[in-house]
Amino acid sequence: MSVLIRQFARYALRKAAANPQVQAKAAEAARFAVEEAKEVARDEDRPRAAGRAVRRALDKLKGGA
């Protein structure tokens, strides 16, 4: 079963990678993740900063902020 899910995921990723709009969205998401990681690394209270970063990411996924 796991092999089937893995193959489906690969297929979906290949199809998405061929789409320029999806590529742009993935690049934007990667930049967002890098900025959040930098902010967490700079903060003195890293667990709290990581929690805030996760909350911002979830809010962004939901379309909130």
Q: Domain limits of the chain?
A: 20-65
pLDDT of residue 44: 92
Say what percent of the chain tops pLDDT 90: 11
What mean pLDDT do residues 7-35 have? 87
Q: In terms of DSSP H, where are the helices of 1-65?
A: 2-17, 20-42, 46-62
Taking the C-alpha atoms of residue 65 and residue 63, their distance in angstroms, rounded to an integer, is 6
Least confident of 1-5, 7-11, 13-17, 25-29: 1-5
Whether residue 56 has pLDDT greater than 70: yes
What mean pLDDT do residues 50-58 have? 89
